[in-house]
Amino acid sequence: EAEKTHIEAERRQLKQELGIVVQQLQTCEQKLSKVEADNEQIEAELRRLLQELDIKTRQLHTMSHGHEEREQTLKMAEVENQRLRHELKIATEQLHSASHAQGEREQQ
């Protein structure tokens, strides 16, 4: 009879411990579910940020390409400007020479 009582007490204690373990397991499952939900939110935010970064990178590349084109156009315009200044200088010298020659002819 004493052994039966001892076994019953042990059984109740094991049942109680099992109940505690089950509660701990349920708590862990709840925490895991929350962590998984948080991870899904973080992953969604990360995907959004990566898309935004991709868009900004493409915009920057486009702007950079446009800037390079403008710089190239500006360089070409500067070269053309220098060429025209040189032509203007030559034409001015020719005009002065012609004017000077005209003045000498009129004096003669």
pLDDT digits (tens, 9 = 90+) for 60-80: 888 888 888 888 999 999 999
| Total residues found in the chain within this entry | 108
Cα–Cα dist 108/104, whole Å: 6
Residue pLDDT, tens place only, 15-51: 999 999 999 999 999 999 999 999 999 999 999 999 9
Distance of CA 106 to the CA centre of its chain: 75
For residue 108, what pLDDT band results from cuts at 50, 70 and 90? low
Encoded tokens for 60 = 């920057």
Encoded tokens for 104 = 């000498």
pTM of the entire predicted model: 0.51
Cα–Cα dist 37/45, whole Å: 12
